[in-house]
Structure 1
Amino acid sequence: MFFWACTYHAMSRTLRETLIADQHDQWMAKYDRSYADEAEKQQRFMIFMKNLEFIEEYNNAAANRTYQLGLNQFSDLTTEEFLNSHTGYKIPDQPKPSKTPSFKYENLTDIPTGMDWREKGAVTEIKNQGSCGSCWAFSAVAAVESAVKIKTGNLIPLSEQQLIDCATNNGNQGCGGGVMDQAFDYIIQNQGLSSETDYPYEGLEGTCEMRSSPAAKITRYEDVPANSEKDLLNAVSIQPVSVAIEVGDAFRHYQQGIFTSEDCGTNLNHGVTVIGYGTSKDGTKYWLIKNSWGKDWGEGGYMKMQRDIDAPEGICGIAMRASYPIA
């Protein structure tokens, strides 16, 4: 009896692995993935299977969860590989003060109940940082693009590559990571930033070049007071805001819905841009996030994250280090 039970279990496991192998082949075709040899394919398949099991167990763990996970372009990477190649926020050495010298949106009244800056034509298309730790550049550029649009009426895709190549004197490390405030510092000191057309994205560190006149400028930037979702809400009601968050396995496999995970903490490792906020039909408040992982991730490259949680730093630390440029 024990023998037949073991045999049945082994056959079931083999059948499951066969089905997952077919799923892996379909996934490879969808994302145009290829491997050097059969050994690497088997290694990646085992990682893929582990990630798939995580997704299935996570989705089945709570029927009333407000979001779902799914396979995406990161599903054959280990957690360490993913974090090393697709994030890039570096926490500055100095702690951020709870009160900033200047916060122009502190005393706003009549805040709209919802905001989506895409509907105002103030958000460029979703971009993809690729395997470069340049999230900080994408977060900063997205905020600058929106600030310039709001002030001038012109929505101009700007150059993340220029920041990767040129903003190293401000403490950033190209594909090795950086900070949005230091990106803003560079743009101010350089008296502007080139367009994406003039200085296109390469996804690797290159030589700093002055290829054209700046396509957009900012005069300064301000930090949102730390650990205040209320102040963050005030700022986002006026313009998109750069924020730092902690991402992990649930976040990287996010597919749809309002992310309410306790899977993330406050070890900030990724920069994104808050482009709006709202409330779902069931009353769940959320932030609307623009990411830099392409349109195949999340809801077309965007994400909803729970707002007004019972912690001052916000979900995944979203209210800890927020800032916005002033055009």
Structure 2
Amino acid sequence: MLLILGTWASKAMSRELHEPALVETLHEQWMAHYGRTYADDAEKEMRLGIFKDNLHFVESFNNDSSQTYKLSINHFADLTNEEFLGYFTGYKLPDNRSRSSGENKPFLYENLTDMPPSVDWRSQGAVTPVKYQGQCGCCWAFSAVAAVEGAIQIKTGQLVSLSEQQLVDCTTDRGNRGCKGGYMVPAFQYIEQNGISTESDYPYQGTDGLSCQAGENSFGSSSTNHISGHEEVPANSEEALLQAVSMQPVSITIDASGQNFKMYSNGVFMARDCGTDPNHAVTIVGYGTTEDGTKYWLLKNSWGETWGENGYMRILRDVESPAGLCGVAQHASYPVA
């Protein structure tokens, strides 16, 4: 049986998962599907126990008919939540820099009132395929690059995949720490001054500690892989965020701590275990409303296409909290092409 949850889950989950032999079989299938190997039998036994816990968690959640979204046994299924957050997130504010509230700062779209009811920048050709950061905490680089890719495409009509590795290697002197975490604003500032290479010219390695391979000002202000500036969206305002996203993809921070976030599969995410202490960075590439009237943001993540809705998440929009669900409206910024 092919282990792809969604197809596989609806059948496998209905079986008696408390049976050790069945769980072991499902784990073996999962390992084969995702190419997972372990150092020895002791590690395999330990990972099997974590896999079982996650399997039961997903089964219990998906059996609750009141939920608006589903979970799945994805490629994170043998990781504890602590391990997952350590490997696959990575938003960290640089040392000696306070978070800006975005107040009393320029905001290009502050007077915009005629926003369309829905936007999907993928259909406008402004979003590259979903990428995978691997076990490198540089979500900040993927978030920034996706926003820059979108801004350049909207301005020039050309969609080009750009280099996250360049930001990992070349922004350490601006307070970012490569795979150990960072923030999008220093990344935007670097691109303003130096431009950014294409993915093919400066491919992703998924590691830090490498020498920066791009010389200062090597791309020049006339480069198409260049931005003229960046702005921060006024904090704690989903309305301001809507104004910005209606015009271009926007980088945001988010709290991805909950186990539901890790195992998200499809539907409009309305987690009950979601806080507002950001530890991850993604890019909002649209928004809309479901047929039953539920408003959502469309997030592009950097965990590959096997997570979520082919690498994307729809998350509840217009909640009572000013910060938005999981803090989506706390720290948003975008490049100016």
How does the TM-score come out when normalised to structure 2? 0.90
Q: Is the 8 A contact 2:238 2:318 kept in 1?
A: yes
Tell me the equivalent position of 2:22.
19
1:70 has 2:79 as partner: no
Instruction: Rate the CA distance shift 1:293–1:16 in 2: closer, same or farther, 3 A.
Output: same
Q: Is the 8 A contact 2:102 2:232 kept in 1?
A: no
Deviation per CA, 1:245-282: give whole Å up to 9, x if none: 00121001000000011211111000000000000001
Matches within 5 A, 1:85-124: 85-91=87-93, 93-124=97-128
Instruction: Rate the CA distance shift 1:14–1:183 in 2: closer, same or farther, 3 A.
Output: closer
Give the Å deviation of 1:18: 1.2
Tell me the equivalent position of 1:5.
none
Choose which of 284, 290, 293 in structure 2 pairs with 1:274. 284
Give the Å deviation of 1:53: 1.4
Tell me the equivalent position of 1:230.
239
Tell me the equivalent position of 1:170.
174
Select between 204-213 and 62-71 the one with higher mean Cα deviation: 204-213
Q: Which runs of 5+ in 1 are unaligned?
A: 1-12
Instruction: Rate the CA distance shift 1:104–1:33 in 2: closer, same or farther, 3 A.
Output: same
Tell me the equivalent position of 2:193.
189
CA distance in 2, matches of 1:207, 1:197: 18
CA distance in 2, matches of 1:24, 1:215: 47
Deviation per CA, 1:80-121: give whole Å up to 9, x if none: 111011000013541322514100101112110000000000
CA distance in 1, matches of 2:30, 2:104: 47
The aligned amino acid for 1:70 is S
SS in 2 for 1:143: helix
Deviation per CA, 1:159-204: give whole Å up to 9, x if none: 00000011101110000000011111111122x0000000000000
Please identify which structure carries the higher helix content: 1
Give the Å deviation of 1:122: 0.5
SS in 2 for 1:242: strand
Tell me the equivalent position of 1:3.
none
Instruction: Rate the CA distance shift 1:96–1:210 in 2: closer, same or farther, 3 A.
Output: closer
Tell me the equivalent position of 2:46.
43
Choose which of 180, 200, 203 in structure 1 pairs with 2:206. 203
Choose which of 247, 250, 253 in structure 2 pairs with 1:241. 250
Instruction: Rate the CA distance shift 1:70–1:100 in 2: closer, same or farther, 3 A.
Output: farther
CA distance in 2, matches of 1:157, 1:53: 39
SS in 1 for 2:308: coil
The aligned amino acid for 1:135 is C
Tell me the equivalent position of 1:82.
84
Q: Is the 8 A contact 1:243 1:271 kept in 2?
A: yes
Tell me the equivalent position of 1:7.
none
CA distance in 1, matches of 2:292, 2:319: 16
Tell me the equivalent position of 2:296.
286
Tell me the equivalent position of 1:131.
135
How does the TM-score come out when normalised to structure 1? 0.93
Tell me the equivalent position of 1:140.
144
Q: Which runs of 5+ in 2 are unaligned?
A: 1-15
Tell me the equivalent position of 1:253.
263
Alignment length (residue pairs)? 314
